[in-house]
Amino acid sequence: MATNDHLSSLVSLSLSCSYLPNLDVGSKSDPQISVFEQEQGGTPTLLGSTEMILNNNNPQFAKQIEVRYFFERVQRLIFRVVDVDDPKSAKGDLFGSVEITLGELMGSAGATLERAILNPSHTHRKNGFIRISGFEVSSSNQEAVFNLSATNLDKKDFLGKSDPFVMLYRGDPSGTNFTLVHKTEYIKQNLNPVWQPFKLHLGVLCGGNMDMPLKVEVWDWDKDEETISLVILSRQ
- 10 in helix, strand or coil? strand
CA distances from 161 to 164, 167, 220, 231 (A): 9, 19, 9, 21
pTM: 0.83
pLDDT band at residue 234 using 50, 70 and 90 as cut-offs: very low
Of 79 and 227, the structure prediction assigns the larger pLDDT to 79
Q: Domains of the chain (ranges plus CATH)?
A: 5-137 (2.60.40.150), 143-233 (2.60.40.150)
Which region among 12-16, 169-173, 180-184 has the lowest average model confidence (pLDDT)?
169-173
> Per residue in 2-18, pLDDT tens?
455 568 899 999 999 99
**In the predicted model, what is the mean pLDDT of the chain?**
86
Identify the pLDDT of residue 5: 57
CA distance 150 to 162: 12
> Per residue in 54-110, pLDDT tens?
889 999 999 999 999 998 899 999 999 999 987 666 578 999 999 999 999 999 998
Specify which of 67-81, 202-216, 222-236 reaches the highest per-range mean pLDDT. 67-81
| Percentage of the chain modeled with pLDDT above 90 | 57
> DSSP code of 57?
S
Identify the pLDDT of residue 225: 53
Residue 52: other Cβ atoms inside 10 A:
18
Beta partners for 164?
Answer: 220
Identify the pLDDT of residue 2: 45
